[in-house]
Structure 1
Amino acid sequence: MSAANVLVIGPHPDDQELGMGGTIAKLARSGHKVHVLDMTNGEPTPLGSPEKRRAEWEAATRILDGGSGNVTRENLDLPNRSVTHTLEARHKVAAVMRVQQSEFVFCPYFEDAHPDHVATTRIVEDARFDAKLSNTDLPGEPIHPRRLIYYYCTHLKIVPNPTLLLDISGFEDAKEQSIRAYHTQFVLPEKNAKVVTWVRQQNAFMGSRIGVASAEPFFLKEVAGLRTIDGIL
Protein backbone atom coordinates (compact mmCIF):
# COMPACT_ATOMS: atom_id res chain seq x y z
CA MET A 1 0.00 0.00 0.00
CA SER A 2 1.28 3.47 -0.85
CA ALA A 3 1.69 6.05 1.90
CA ALA A 4 -1.67 7.23 3.23
CA ASN A 5 -2.82 10.36 5.04
CA VAL A 6 -4.24 9.31 8.40
CA LEU A 7 -6.13 11.55 10.85
CA VAL A 8 -6.47 10.46 14.49
CA ILE A 9 -8.93 12.56 16.48
CA GLY A 10 -9.37 12.58 20.25
CA PRO A 11 -11.27 14.70 22.76
CA HIS A 12 -8.23 15.21 25.00
CA PRO A 13 -4.48 14.78 24.63
CA ASP A 14 -3.75 11.19 25.79
CA ASP A 15 -6.92 9.56 24.39
CA GLN A 16 -5.24 8.69 21.11
CA GLU A 17 -2.19 7.27 22.88
CA LEU A 18 -4.34 5.12 25.15
CA GLY A 19 -6.58 3.84 22.37
CA MET A 20 -4.18 3.40 19.47
CA GLY A 21 -0.69 4.59 20.33
CA GLY A 22 0.83 1.41 18.97
CA THR A 23 -0.99 1.81 15.67
CA ILE A 24 0.13 5.44 15.34
CA ALA A 25 3.75 4.43 15.94
CA LYS A 26 3.52 1.54 13.49
CA LEU A 27 1.88 3.61 10.76
CA ALA A 28 4.47 6.38 11.10
CA ARG A 29 7.38 3.98 10.86
CA SER A 30 5.74 2.37 7.83
CA GLY A 31 5.84 5.67 5.97
CA HIS A 32 2.26 6.83 6.47
CA LYS A 33 1.53 10.44 7.41
CA VAL A 34 -0.34 10.61 10.73
CA HIS A 35 -1.93 13.85 11.89
CA VAL A 36 -3.14 13.82 15.49
CA LEU A 37 -5.96 16.23 16.28
CA ASP A 38 -6.94 17.10 19.85
CA MET A 39 -10.31 18.75 20.35
CA THR A 40 -9.33 20.28 23.73
CA ASN A 41 -6.21 20.72 25.85
CA GLY A 42 -7.63 18.35 28.48
CA GLU A 43 -7.35 20.87 31.29
CA PRO A 44 -8.13 21.53 34.08
CA THR A 45 -7.04 18.37 35.86
CA PRO A 46 -5.91 17.95 39.50
CA LEU A 47 -2.16 18.00 38.78
CA GLY A 48 -2.01 19.50 35.32
CA SER A 49 -2.03 22.89 33.67
CA PRO A 50 -2.31 24.02 30.04
CA GLU A 51 1.46 24.52 29.91
CA LYS A 52 2.26 21.12 31.43
CA ARG A 53 -0.25 19.34 29.21
CA ARG A 54 1.19 20.90 26.07
CA ALA A 55 4.69 19.77 27.05
CA GLU A 56 3.31 16.28 27.68
CA TRP A 57 1.52 15.95 24.35
CA GLU A 58 4.58 17.25 22.53
CA ALA A 59 6.73 14.62 24.27
CA ALA A 60 4.20 11.87 23.51
CA THR A 61 4.09 12.89 19.85
CA ARG A 62 7.88 12.70 19.56
CA ILE A 63 7.82 9.20 21.05
CA LEU A 64 5.17 7.98 18.61
CA ASP A 65 6.95 9.62 15.70
CA GLY A 66 10.17 7.79 16.56
CA GLY A 67 12.25 10.07 14.37
CA SER A 68 10.23 9.25 11.25
CA GLY A 69 9.02 12.80 10.73
CA ASN A 70 5.58 11.41 9.89
CA VAL A 71 3.55 12.40 12.96
CA THR A 72 2.18 15.93 13.31
CA ARG A 73 -0.27 17.33 15.83
CA GLU A 74 -2.62 20.24 16.39
CA ASN A 75 -5.19 21.31 18.96
CA LEU A 76 -8.55 22.95 18.25
CA ASP A 77 -8.69 24.47 21.77
CA LEU A 78 -12.36 23.73 22.30
CA PRO A 79 -13.42 23.96 25.96
CA ASN A 80 -12.61 20.83 27.95
CA ARG A 81 -15.63 19.11 29.56
CA SER A 82 -17.89 21.13 27.25
CA VAL A 83 -17.32 19.75 23.76
CA THR A 84 -20.59 20.27 21.91
CA HIS A 85 -21.83 18.97 18.58
CA THR A 86 -22.29 22.24 16.69
CA LEU A 87 -21.99 23.31 13.07
CA GLU A 88 -18.94 25.40 13.98
CA ALA A 89 -17.19 22.41 15.56
CA ARG A 90 -18.07 20.20 12.59
CA HIS A 91 -16.61 22.69 10.17
CA LYS A 92 -13.41 23.04 12.21
CA VAL A 93 -12.85 19.28 11.99
CA ALA A 94 -13.92 19.12 8.35
CA ALA A 95 -11.39 21.84 7.56
CA VAL A 96 -8.61 19.72 9.06
CA MET A 97 -9.74 16.72 6.98
CA ARG A 98 -9.61 18.84 3.83
CA VAL A 99 -6.27 20.50 4.54
CA GLN A 100 -4.70 17.17 5.51
CA GLN A 101 -6.48 15.31 2.69
CA SER A 102 -7.28 12.58 5.21
CA GLU A 103 -7.99 9.19 3.67
CA PHE A 104 -8.45 7.30 6.94
CA VAL A 105 -10.00 8.90 10.02
CA PHE A 106 -9.93 7.40 13.51
CA CYS A 107 -12.13 8.62 16.38
CA PRO A 108 -13.36 7.28 19.74
CA TYR A 109 -15.82 4.41 19.96
CA PHE A 110 -19.31 5.89 19.88
CA GLU A 111 -20.58 4.53 23.23
CA ASP A 112 -18.97 6.28 26.19
CA ALA A 113 -19.77 7.72 29.60
CA HIS A 114 -17.75 10.89 28.94
CA PRO A 115 -19.82 13.55 27.14
CA ASP A 116 -16.71 14.95 25.42
CA HIS A 117 -16.02 11.56 23.84
CA VAL A 118 -19.58 11.12 22.60
CA ALA A 119 -19.73 14.66 21.24
CA THR A 120 -16.35 14.34 19.53
CA THR A 121 -17.42 11.23 17.67
CA ARG A 122 -20.68 12.79 16.50
CA ILE A 123 -18.76 15.85 15.31
CA VAL A 124 -16.29 13.67 13.39
CA GLU A 125 -19.02 11.58 11.77
CA ASP A 126 -20.75 14.67 10.41
CA ALA A 127 -17.49 16.43 9.56
CA ARG A 128 -16.62 13.52 7.29
CA PHE A 129 -19.69 14.41 5.23
CA ASP A 130 -18.99 18.15 5.35
CA ALA A 131 -15.41 17.62 4.18
CA LYS A 132 -16.56 16.54 0.72
CA LEU A 133 -18.73 19.58 0.03
CA SER A 134 -18.00 21.92 -2.85
CA ASN A 135 -18.99 25.59 -3.07
CA THR A 136 -18.07 26.19 0.56
CA ASP A 137 -15.85 28.57 2.49
CA LEU A 138 -14.02 25.66 4.12
CA PRO A 139 -10.27 25.66 3.41
CA GLY A 140 -8.60 22.89 1.45
CA GLU A 141 -9.89 20.69 -1.33
CA PRO A 142 -13.01 18.52 -0.94
CA ILE A 143 -12.38 14.96 0.22
CA HIS A 144 -14.50 12.12 1.54
CA PRO A 145 -12.29 10.00 3.82
CA ARG A 146 -12.37 6.39 2.68
CA ARG A 147 -12.79 4.91 6.14
CA LEU A 148 -14.02 6.07 9.53
CA ILE A 149 -12.59 3.73 12.15
CA TYR A 150 -13.40 3.77 15.86
CA TYR A 151 -10.78 3.11 18.53
CA TYR A 152 -11.48 2.15 22.13
CA CYS A 153 -10.72 4.66 24.87
CA THR A 154 -13.94 4.53 26.81
CA HIS A 155 -14.97 5.45 30.34
CA LEU A 156 -17.56 2.68 30.35
CA LYS A 157 -16.73 -0.61 32.03
CA ILE A 158 -17.14 -2.65 28.87
CA VAL A 159 -15.10 -5.28 27.09
CA PRO A 160 -14.31 -4.22 23.51
CA ASN A 161 -16.11 -6.21 20.84
CA PRO A 162 -13.99 -5.16 17.85
CA THR A 163 -14.51 -5.88 14.18
CA LEU A 164 -10.79 -5.38 13.51
CA LEU A 165 -7.58 -6.10 15.41
CA LEU A 166 -4.34 -4.47 14.28
CA ASP A 167 -1.06 -6.17 15.15
CA ILE A 168 1.17 -3.77 17.13
CA SER A 169 3.79 -6.31 18.16
CA GLY A 170 7.09 -4.52 18.67
CA PHE A 171 5.40 -1.19 19.35
CA GLU A 172 4.15 -1.92 22.87
CA ASP A 173 6.98 0.03 24.50
CA ALA A 174 6.47 3.08 22.29
CA LYS A 175 2.80 3.09 23.23
CA GLU A 176 3.52 2.71 26.94
CA GLN A 177 6.15 5.44 26.88
CA SER A 178 3.79 7.79 25.05
CA ILE A 179 1.15 7.26 27.74
CA ARG A 180 3.65 7.78 30.55
CA ALA A 181 4.71 11.03 28.87
CA TYR A 182 1.48 12.37 30.39
CA HIS A 183 3.20 12.58 33.75
CA THR A 184 0.42 14.56 35.42
CA GLN A 185 -2.18 12.02 34.32
CA PHE A 186 -0.58 8.56 34.61
CA VAL A 187 2.57 8.85 36.72
CA LEU A 188 1.95 11.34 39.53
CA PRO A 189 -1.65 10.22 40.34
CA GLU A 190 -1.07 6.86 42.00
CA LYS A 191 -4.58 5.60 41.22
CA ASN A 192 -4.04 6.16 37.49
CA ALA A 193 -0.65 4.46 37.23
CA LYS A 194 -2.32 1.05 36.89
CA VAL A 195 -4.12 2.20 33.73
CA VAL A 196 -0.91 1.70 31.75
CA THR A 197 -0.72 -1.92 32.93
CA TRP A 198 -4.37 -2.53 32.10
CA VAL A 199 -3.93 -1.18 28.58
CA ARG A 200 -0.89 -3.37 27.96
CA GLN A 201 -2.72 -6.43 29.28
CA GLN A 202 -5.74 -5.73 27.09
CA ASN A 203 -3.55 -5.37 24.02
CA ALA A 204 -1.80 -8.65 24.87
CA PHE A 205 -5.16 -10.41 25.15
CA MET A 206 -6.35 -8.94 21.86
CA GLY A 207 -3.12 -10.09 20.27
CA SER A 208 -3.70 -13.62 21.53
CA ARG A 209 -6.97 -13.72 19.58
CA ILE A 210 -5.05 -13.43 16.30
CA GLY A 211 -1.86 -15.23 17.29
CA VAL A 212 0.42 -12.24 17.81
CA ALA A 213 2.05 -10.65 20.85
CA SER A 214 -0.11 -7.52 20.97
CA ALA A 215 -2.97 -5.91 19.06
CA GLU A 216 -5.23 -2.89 19.34
CA PRO A 217 -9.00 -3.24 18.87
CA PHE A 218 -11.03 -1.18 16.40
CA PHE A 219 -14.62 -1.06 15.23
CA LEU A 220 -15.99 -0.36 11.76
CA LYS A 221 -19.65 0.39 11.04
CA GLU A 222 -19.11 0.07 7.30
CA VAL A 223 -18.13 -3.06 5.42
CA ALA A 224 -14.42 -3.31 4.66
CA GLY A 225 -13.04 -5.25 1.71
CA LEU A 226 -9.91 -7.29 1.04
CA ARG A 227 -8.03 -7.53 -2.25
CA THR A 228 -6.55 -10.88 -1.23
CA ILE A 229 -6.55 -13.08 1.87
CA ASP A 230 -2.78 -12.72 2.32
CA GLY A 231 -3.09 -10.10 5.05
CA ILE A 232 -5.53 -12.00 7.27
CA LEU A 233 -4.14 -13.22 10.60
Structure 2
Amino acid sequence: MKTVKADILAFGAHADDIEIGMGGTAAKYAAVGKTVVFCDLTKAELSSNGTVTSRAAEARQAAEILGVQERVTLDLPDRGLFLTAEAVSKVAEVIRRYQPTVVFAPYEQDRHPDHGACARLVKEAFFSAGIRKYETSGKEEAHKAKQLYFYMINGFHRPDFCVDIGEVITRKQEGLSAYRSQFELGEGSVDTPLTSGYVETVIARDRMMGKEVGRMFAEGFLTSAPLLLEWDLIGD
Protein backbone atom coordinates (compact mmCIF):
# COMPACT_ATOMS: atom_id res chain seq x y z
CA MET A 1 0.00 0.00 0.00
CA LYS A 2 1.38 3.40 -0.96
CA THR A 3 2.25 5.66 1.94
CA VAL A 4 0.58 9.06 2.07
CA LYS A 5 2.65 12.17 1.45
CA ALA A 6 2.46 14.36 4.54
CA ASP A 7 2.04 18.09 4.68
CA ILE A 8 2.96 17.90 8.38
CA LEU A 9 5.01 15.16 10.02
CA ALA A 10 5.25 15.53 13.81
CA PHE A 11 7.52 13.49 16.06
CA GLY A 12 7.17 12.88 19.78
CA ALA A 13 9.07 10.75 22.28
CA HIS A 14 5.83 9.35 23.72
CA ALA A 15 2.19 9.23 22.72
CA ASP A 16 0.56 12.45 24.03
CA ASP A 17 3.67 14.64 23.54
CA ILE A 18 2.50 15.95 20.18
CA GLU A 19 -1.06 16.50 21.39
CA ILE A 20 0.21 18.57 24.33
CA GLY A 21 2.44 20.80 22.24
CA MET A 22 0.62 21.11 18.93
CA GLY A 23 -2.66 19.22 19.03
CA GLY A 24 -4.52 22.37 18.03
CA THR A 25 -2.27 23.09 15.08
CA ALA A 26 -2.60 19.51 13.87
CA ALA A 27 -6.40 19.68 14.14
CA LYS A 28 -6.53 23.07 12.40
CA TYR A 29 -4.57 21.95 9.37
CA ALA A 30 -6.25 18.55 9.18
CA ALA A 31 -9.64 20.30 9.12
CA VAL A 32 -8.75 22.14 5.90
CA GLY A 33 -7.57 19.00 4.13
CA LYS A 34 -3.88 18.93 4.94
CA THR A 35 -2.32 15.53 5.57
CA VAL A 36 -0.99 15.24 9.10
CA VAL A 37 1.09 12.28 10.30
CA PHE A 38 2.28 11.58 13.87
CA CYS A 39 5.27 9.44 14.77
CA ASP A 40 5.93 8.36 18.37
CA LEU A 41 9.52 7.22 18.86
CA THR A 42 8.75 4.89 21.79
CA LYS A 43 5.88 2.83 23.13
CA ALA A 44 6.15 4.67 26.48
CA GLU A 45 6.71 1.34 28.18
CA LEU A 46 8.12 2.99 31.32
CA SER A 47 5.15 5.28 31.98
CA SER A 48 4.03 5.29 35.61
CA ASN A 49 0.42 4.78 34.56
CA GLY A 50 -1.19 2.83 31.76
CA THR A 51 0.24 0.02 29.69
CA VAL A 52 1.72 -0.20 26.22
CA THR A 53 -1.61 -1.58 25.00
CA SER A 54 -3.75 1.09 26.64
CA ARG A 55 -1.44 3.90 25.53
CA ALA A 56 -1.59 2.64 21.95
CA ALA A 57 -5.41 2.59 22.04
CA GLU A 58 -5.51 6.10 23.50
CA ALA A 59 -3.07 7.34 20.86
CA ARG A 60 -5.26 5.96 18.07
CA GLN A 61 -8.34 7.62 19.56
CA ALA A 62 -6.55 10.97 19.97
CA ALA A 63 -5.31 10.85 16.38
CA GLU A 64 -8.82 10.16 15.13
CA ILE A 65 -10.22 13.08 17.13
CA LEU A 66 -7.62 15.47 15.74
CA GLY A 67 -8.01 14.27 12.15
CA VAL A 68 -4.51 12.81 11.91
CA GLN A 69 -4.35 10.61 8.82
CA GLU A 70 -1.67 8.18 10.00
CA ARG A 71 0.14 7.48 13.26
CA VAL A 72 3.21 5.27 13.49
CA THR A 73 5.24 4.09 16.47
CA LEU A 74 8.91 3.18 16.34
CA ASP A 75 10.51 0.61 18.63
CA LEU A 76 13.10 2.89 20.20
CA PRO A 77 13.41 2.32 23.97
CA ASP A 78 11.67 4.58 26.45
CA ARG A 79 14.40 6.46 28.40
CA GLY A 80 16.86 5.13 25.83
CA LEU A 81 16.64 7.78 23.15
CA PHE A 82 20.34 8.18 22.54
CA LEU A 83 21.97 9.80 19.54
CA THR A 84 23.08 6.63 17.77
CA ALA A 85 23.46 5.96 14.07
CA GLU A 86 20.72 3.31 14.24
CA ALA A 87 18.22 5.64 15.91
CA VAL A 88 18.92 8.50 13.50
CA SER A 89 18.50 6.11 10.57
CA LYS A 90 15.09 4.93 11.81
CA VAL A 91 13.81 8.48 12.15
CA ALA A 92 15.28 9.50 8.78
CA GLU A 93 13.51 6.54 7.18
CA VAL A 94 10.15 7.84 8.46
CA ILE A 95 10.90 11.27 7.00
CA ARG A 96 11.76 9.75 3.65
CA ARG A 97 8.69 7.51 3.71
CA TYR A 98 6.20 10.35 4.25
CA GLN A 99 8.08 13.11 2.36
CA PRO A 100 6.71 15.90 4.58
CA THR A 101 6.61 19.55 3.67
CA VAL A 102 7.43 20.50 7.27
CA VAL A 103 8.60 18.52 10.30
CA PHE A 104 7.87 19.15 13.99
CA ALA A 105 9.69 17.92 17.09
CA PRO A 106 9.70 18.81 20.80
CA TYR A 107 11.70 21.83 21.89
CA GLU A 108 15.03 20.67 23.30
CA GLN A 109 14.78 22.64 26.55
CA ASP A 110 12.35 20.51 28.56
CA ARG A 111 12.31 18.97 32.03
CA HIS A 112 11.92 15.46 30.57
CA PRO A 113 15.22 14.19 29.10
CA ASP A 114 13.42 12.10 26.46
CA HIS A 115 11.88 15.23 24.94
CA GLY A 116 15.27 16.86 24.47
CA ALA A 117 16.67 13.60 23.14
CA CYS A 118 13.81 13.38 20.63
CA ALA A 119 14.62 16.90 19.44
CA ARG A 120 18.27 16.02 18.87
CA LEU A 121 17.41 12.80 17.05
CA VAL A 122 14.95 14.52 14.74
CA LYS A 123 17.40 17.35 13.98
CA GLU A 124 20.04 14.84 12.89
CA ALA A 125 17.53 12.77 10.91
CA PHE A 126 16.03 15.86 9.27
CA PHE A 127 19.43 16.66 7.80
CA SER A 128 20.47 13.08 6.99
CA ALA A 129 17.18 12.28 5.22
CA GLY A 130 18.06 14.82 2.56
CA ILE A 131 21.47 13.35 1.74
CA ARG A 132 21.22 11.23 -1.38
CA LYS A 133 23.96 8.77 -0.40
CA TYR A 134 22.78 8.39 3.20
CA GLU A 135 21.46 4.85 3.63
CA THR A 136 18.53 3.61 5.68
CA SER A 137 17.00 0.15 5.83
CA GLY A 138 14.15 1.30 3.57
CA LYS A 139 14.17 1.89 -0.17
CA GLU A 140 12.86 5.44 -0.03
CA GLU A 141 14.69 8.18 -1.85
CA ALA A 142 16.28 11.15 -0.11
CA HIS A 143 13.89 13.88 0.96
CA LYS A 144 14.60 17.39 2.24
CA ALA A 145 11.65 18.96 4.05
CA LYS A 146 11.26 22.73 3.90
CA GLN A 147 11.40 23.50 7.63
CA LEU A 148 11.93 21.95 11.04
CA TYR A 149 9.84 23.50 13.83
CA PHE A 150 9.78 22.82 17.57
CA TYR A 151 6.74 22.70 19.84
CA MET A 152 6.64 23.07 23.62
CA ILE A 153 5.63 20.29 25.97
CA ASN A 154 6.63 21.41 29.46
CA GLY A 155 7.44 25.01 30.23
CA PHE A 156 6.75 28.34 28.60
CA HIS A 157 9.30 29.74 26.15
CA ARG A 158 9.22 32.82 23.98
CA PRO A 159 8.09 31.52 20.57
CA ASP A 160 9.40 32.50 17.17
CA PHE A 161 5.85 32.27 15.81
CA CYS A 162 2.37 31.24 16.94
CA VAL A 163 -0.60 29.48 15.37
CA ASP A 164 -4.11 30.66 16.24
CA ILE A 165 -6.01 27.63 17.57
CA GLY A 166 -9.09 29.39 18.94
CA GLU A 167 -11.45 27.57 16.59
CA VAL A 168 -10.07 24.13 17.50
CA ILE A 169 -9.27 24.47 21.20
CA THR A 170 -12.16 22.14 22.09
CA ARG A 171 -10.83 19.57 19.64
CA LYS A 172 -7.41 19.78 21.29
CA GLN A 173 -8.95 19.27 24.73
CA GLU A 174 -10.87 16.25 23.43
CA GLY A 175 -7.67 14.80 21.97
CA LEU A 176 -5.87 15.18 25.29
CA SER A 177 -8.84 13.69 27.15
CA ALA A 178 -8.34 10.49 25.18
CA TYR A 179 -5.32 9.82 27.38
CA ARG A 180 -7.32 8.85 30.42
CA SER A 181 -4.52 6.67 31.80
CA GLN A 182 -2.17 9.65 31.86
CA PHE A 183 -4.33 12.59 32.92
CA GLU A 184 -6.88 10.95 35.24
CA LEU A 185 -6.39 9.09 38.51
CA GLY A 186 -8.03 5.70 38.24
CA GLU A 187 -7.97 2.37 39.99
CA GLY A 188 -4.39 1.16 40.30
CA SER A 189 -2.86 4.43 39.04
CA VAL A 190 -0.41 6.63 40.92
CA ASP A 191 -0.32 10.37 41.34
CA THR A 192 2.06 12.07 38.89
CA PRO A 193 2.51 15.63 37.58
CA LEU A 194 0.21 14.66 34.71
CA THR A 195 -2.71 13.70 36.98
CA SER A 196 -2.70 16.98 38.91
CA GLY A 197 -4.39 19.45 36.59
CA TYR A 198 -1.85 19.08 33.80
CA VAL A 199 -4.33 19.46 30.93
CA GLU A 200 -5.72 22.62 32.51
CA THR A 201 -2.16 23.96 32.68
CA VAL A 202 -1.61 23.24 28.99
CA ILE A 203 -4.81 25.05 28.01
CA ALA A 204 -3.86 27.96 30.28
CA ARG A 205 -0.53 28.20 28.46
CA ASP A 206 -2.35 28.24 25.13
CA ARG A 207 -4.53 31.06 26.43
CA MET A 208 -1.48 33.00 27.61
CA MET A 209 0.24 32.42 24.28
CA GLY A 210 -2.88 33.67 22.55
CA LYS A 211 -2.79 36.89 24.55
CA GLU A 212 0.75 37.45 23.31
CA VAL A 213 -0.54 37.60 19.71
CA GLY A 214 -4.01 39.05 20.23
CA ARG A 215 -5.96 35.80 20.00
CA MET A 216 -7.96 33.71 22.46
CA PHE A 217 -5.73 30.62 22.18
CA ALA A 218 -2.48 29.95 20.33
CA GLU A 219 0.32 27.41 20.22
CA GLY A 220 3.87 28.71 20.12
CA PHE A 221 6.75 27.29 18.10
CA LEU A 222 10.46 27.80 17.70
CA THR A 223 12.37 27.54 14.44
CA SER A 224 15.66 25.97 13.41
CA ALA A 225 16.18 28.59 10.69
CA PRO A 226 14.75 32.03 9.84
CA LEU A 227 11.29 32.06 8.29
CA LEU A 228 10.88 33.49 4.80
CA LEU A 229 7.78 35.64 4.30
CA GLU A 230 6.47 36.21 0.80
CA TRP A 231 3.18 38.18 0.82
CA ASP A 232 1.98 37.71 4.38
CA LEU A 233 4.16 40.38 6.03
CA ILE A 234 1.24 42.62 6.95
CA GLY A 235 -1.39 39.87 7.38
CA ASP A 236 -4.91 39.80 5.91
TM-score, normalised with respect to structure 2: 0.89
Q: What are the equivalent positions in structure 2 for 1:163-182 lying under 5 Å apart?
A: 163-182=160-179
Aligned to 1:151: 151
Change (3 A) 1:231 1:20: farther
* Structure 2: 5+ residue stretches without partners: none
User: 1:105 aligned to 2:108?
Assistant: no
Q: Measure, in 1, the Cα distance between the counterparts of 2:215 and 2:113.
A: 34
Q: After superposition, what is the alpha-carbon deviation per residue over 1:135-166, rounded to whole angstroms, capped at 9, x for unaligned?
A: 34433121111100000013xxx431101010
- Over the matched positions of the two proteins, sequence identity in percent amounts to 35
Shift of 1:230: 5.9
Q: What are the equivalent positions in structure 2 for 1:1-233 lying under 5 Å apart?
A: 5-65=7-67, 71-138=69-136, 139-154=139-154, 158-188=155-185, 192-229=195-232, 232=235
Query: Any runs of at least 4 consecutive aligned residues in structure 1 with deviations exceeding 4 A, and if so which?
Result: none
Shift of 1:130: 1.0
CA contact (8 A) 1:64 1:71 kept: no
Q: Measure, in 1, the Cα distance between the counterparts of 2:215 and 2:110.
A: 28
TM-score, normalised with respect to structure 1: 0.90
**Structure 2 SS opposite 1:171:** helix
Q: Measure, in 1, the Cα distance between the counterparts of 2:36 and 2:196.
A: 27
Q: How many residues align?
A: 224
Q: Measure, in 1, the Cα distance between the counterparts of 2:88 and 2:146.
A: 18
Q: Measure, in 2, the Cα distance between the counterparts of 1:53 and 1:4.
A: 24
Shift of 1:44: 2.6
Change (3 A) 1:118 1:135: same
Change (3 A) 1:92 1:175: same
Q: CA RMSD in A?
A: 1.8
CA contact (8 A) 2:10 2:18 kept: yes
**Structure 1 SS opposite 2:100:** coil
